[in-house]
Amino acid sequence: MKKLTAISMALVLSLGLLAGCGSDAGSQSSGSADGSSSAADSGSAAESGSAPEISEEDAVDPHNWAEYDALIDQIKTTTDFEQREVLMHQAEDMLMETGALLPLYYYNDIYMQKDYVSNIYSNSFGYKFFMFSKTQGDTLNLNLASEPDKLDPALNSTVDGACLAVNSFAGLYTYDSNGNVTPDLAADEQVSEDGMTYTVTLLPDLKWSDGSELNANDFVYAWNRAVAEETAADYSYMFDIIARNDDGSLKVTAGEDGQSLTIELIAPCAYFNELLAFPAYFPVKQSEVESAADWQNNPGAWAQEAGFVSNGAYTLTAWTHDESMTYEKNPYYHKADEVETATLKFMLSADDTAIYAAYTAGNLDFIDSVPTDEIQSLLDNPEFHIVDQLGTYYVSFNVKSPLFDGKTAAQANAMRRAFALLVDRDYICENIGQTGQKPANSFIPIGMADGHGGMFKENDDAYTFPDADNTGYFDPSWSQENVDEAISLLEYAGYQFEDGKLSAETPISFEFLTNDGSGNVAVAEALQQDFAEIGINMNISQQDWNVFLNERKSGNYDIARNGWVADFSDPINMLEMWTTDSGNNDCQFGR
């Protein structure tokens, strides 16, 4: 496969601008076209301090996003998996050229677990499975995060919400303790020779938590509900791989006996079983959903208080909002005889100092975050765990922010890329993260598969990264040269400088939105200091987790903390979220 000539030439110029940047879900530790189609030639400073050579005509415009949307559609339908990888690189090139995603570091996950607790396991997507845990007595006391945003598996888009979902709902597939996808409610699966039709047979005698029958029709209902416009699910695009009928419904049918499910795809999908293990693919009971008051206008109303029907290991029996949640063992769970811990009690808080104090006092058995200033002292503690995670901690820019008013697409892109050049990622990783996080120089993280047997973030015959030595878009080590280049970019965008500082005649001031948590706040303060080095004024605004999520989703921000832990190991998961209509398009591309 030939290298993407046009896009590569553009990025040698445009993303060369990022060369040499310094030292990235709920908590901070713990939320494609052919090769000739190109992202913009946006230029680079020929020498330190010189004006960047940027083509206004060819610049990627994040407000005109049809080309990107078409690229994602092409990726989803191509059957040439090598070409598919090339197209996915092209999509990431376009994203990075806008500068709207400023990667900081690649995630790992930390948690603390008492030495008398065992059989809790997690996977690289951030899910934590408590249903087979063993502890003293029959109750496990935990903290994952603060008040969850959504408990409806079709509407949730956070890692803490996914953790609650996998412990209270069950799908056709799940993950085992080794992180491998494995059948859950599926007894058998048959795939057609062309890879386009799946026939899944369910286990017999499945039940909801109220004792009523659960069958294949419940999946047909749940999946069509998840893609319905009135449901407004952020993850509705996760079902795009399934073919549609003329009326827009999914080509998913239940057998006459309700024991089998036939699914027709638009193209072969190597990761389809991982989709079947994703919470948005979990079943929900139609009568439960539609018995809630105003369910048509508030589709998640049925799961906003304790007592709703589910089908997993636990059911939510008590919920004191912003304080605690209690889950009790579901006797109708298909593996109920393997569930030894009868009760999960969650402390709802984002105050990691209070959470850690509760843990050290023996009031919590498991916590998912610790205060930043405690990490060094805990590195050798056997109760402190660091696990791999497939995701990126980053900063997102609202491309519709007034900060970019009056700028051309190329100027706005240059501004955002200039910000990236100013960040000291090594400092953030070493002094805030402290658990071996890797500085990030692209949005797709290290360890992501390429869809045909290799790793996406490796140079190969089909694609070479603009910064080939670092297999990304820039060298993530900070230098004064980066600062000089950032100043050149900002000068191109219309800002004036005097002795390396912004002139009072052309100030830059904005608000940085973040959720609570000592790590998140420390990262914000590090960015604030980096930007202040050239006179940029950044004010930090902290918000509660669920408020923060909805403000960011609505585009009510200038620049915000962000993070994405992959839902499955394929780059499309981190590319399709940026299409115009995606509910996870926090940057507001195409809007």
SS (HEC) of 218-272:
HHHHHHHHHHCCCCCCCCHHHHCCECECCCCCECEEECCCCCEEEEEECCCCCCH
Residue-level pLDDT at 474? 86
150 has pLDDT over 90: yes
> Cα dist. 543→188, 392, 552 in Å?
46, 21, 11
Top-ranked range on mean pLDDT: pick from 34-43, 49-58, 122-131? 122-131
221-240 confidence digits (pLDDT tens): 999 999 999 999 999 999 99
Q: What is the DSSP letter of 363?
A: S
Residue-level pLDDT at 29? 39
272 has pLDDT over 50: yes
Between 169 and 474, name the one with better pLDDT.
169
- The CATH homologous superfamily for domain 115-367 is Periplasmic binding protein-like II (3.40.190.10)
Dump the DSSP string for 427-454: HIIIIII-S-PEEPSSSSPTT-B-SSSS
Distance CA 480, CA 462 (A): 34
Residue-level pLDDT at 515? 95
CA 275 to chain centre: 15
Contact 524, 516 (CB under 8 A): no
- Structure-derived torsion over alpha carbons of residues 538, 544, 548, 549, reported in degrees to the nearest 10: 150
Residues 6+ apart with CB under 8 A from 29: 109, 110, 368, 369, 370, 435, 519
Angle between the N-to-C axes of helices 5-14 and 81-98, in degrees from 0 to 180, rounded to the nearest 10: 30
Phi-psi region of 294 (alpha: psi -120 to 50; beta: other; left: phi over 0): left
Would you identify the CATH topology of the domain 5-107+390-578? Dipeptide-binding Protein; domain 3 (3.10.105)
192 has pLDDT over 70: yes
Of 337, 28, 328, the closest CA to residue 167 belongs to 328
3 has pLDDT over 60: no
Contact 572, 442 (CB under 8 A): no
Beta bridge partners of 327: 316, 344
258-270 confidence digits (pLDDT tens): 999 999 999 999 9
Residue-level pLDDT at 37? 30
Distance CA 197, CA 265 (A): 6
Contact 578, 285 (CB under 8 A): no
Distance CA 467, CA 215 (A): 51
Residue-level pLDDT at 477? 86
365 has pLDDT over 50: yes
CA 85 to chain centre: 20
Q: Quick one: average pLDDT of 62-86? A: 95
**For the whole model, what pTM was predicted?**
0.88
579 has pLDDT over 50: yes
Contact 392, 460 (CB under 8 A): no
* CB atoms near residue 401 (< 10 Å): 18
User: At 11, is the pLDDT very low, low, confident or very high (cuts 50, 70, 90)?
Assistant: very low
* Segments making up each domain of the chain, as ranges: 5-107+390-578, 115-367
Distance CA 85, CA 32 (A): 9
Q: Quick one: average pLDDT of 390-409? A: 97
Residue-level pLDDT at 27? 43
Distance CA 73, CA 267 (A): 11
Q: Mean pLDDT check: name the lowest of 201-205, 457-461, 509-513.
A: 457-461
Residue-level pLDDT at 53? 56
Contact 464, 8 (CB under 8 A): yes
CA 330 to chain centre: 30
CA 195 to chain centre: 27
Provide, rounded to the nearest whole percent, the portion of the chain with pLDDT above 90. Answer: 86
520-556 confidence digits (pLDDT tens): 999 999 999 999 999 999 999 999 999 999 999 999 9
User: At 250, is the pLDDT very low, low, confident or very high (cuts 50, 70, 90)?
Assistant: very high
Q: What is the mean pLDDT of the chain?
A: 91
Q: Mean pLDDT check: name the lowest of 72-76, 360-364, 450-454, 553-557.
A: 450-454
Q: Quick one: average pLDDT of 290-316? A: 96
Dump the DSSP string for 71-107: HHHHHHH---HHHHHHHHHHHHHHHHHHT-EEEEEEE
Residue-level pLDDT at 475? 85
